[in-house]
């Protein structure tokens, strides 16, 4: 899990999240069998909502889970490099997520 407090001084003021993930199948053992062409590996990028790094799942009662900020579509990892993205947007004038959940 990425702790955004290392990069952002006020996490509650984050209005959007953008994630880019680059994937590519590689052969980690040059002497091994090269099965990249038949590999079936899926990747998905997502984020959960924790208003504070010290938040616990019990803080989201009665749900029992952290609300999702976003999730990308699943994508196959291929032999050529591929980019996978996940983004959220908080348009101007909308109620902030922290206010609308609780």
Maximum Cα–Cα distance for the chain, whole Å? 58
Pick from 36, 88, 3: nearest CA to 97? 88
Q: Is the peptide bond before 90 cis (omega within 30 degrees of 0)?
A: no
Task: Residue 87: give the domain boundaries.
Answer: 4-26+36-91
Tally of domains within the chain:
1
Question: Computed from CA positions of residues 58, 63, 64, 67, in that sequence, does the dihedral angle turn out positive or negative?
Answer: negative
E strand or H helix at 97: helix 97-101
Consecutive H or E run containing 99: helix 97-101
Which tens digit of pLDDT belongs to each residue from 28-63?
888 999 999 998 899 988 777 666 778 788 887 787
Q: Is the overall model pTM greater than 0.85, yes or no?
A: no
Look at residue 97 and tell me if it is in a domain: no
At 41 the pLDDT is 92
């Amino acid at each position: 899990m990425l702790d955004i407090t290392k990069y952002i001084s006020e996490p509650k003021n984050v209005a959007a999240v953008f994630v880019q993930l680059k994937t590519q199948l590689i052969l980690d053992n040059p002497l091994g069998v090269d099965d990249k062409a038949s590999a079936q590996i899926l990747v998905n990028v997502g984020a959960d909502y924790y208003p504070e790094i010290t938040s616990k799942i019990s803080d989201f009662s009665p749900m029992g889970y952290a609300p999702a900020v976003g999730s990308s579509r699943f994508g196959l990892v291929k032999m050529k490099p591929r980019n996978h993205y996940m983004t959220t947007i908080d348009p101007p004038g909308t109620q902030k997520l922290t206010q609308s959940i609780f």
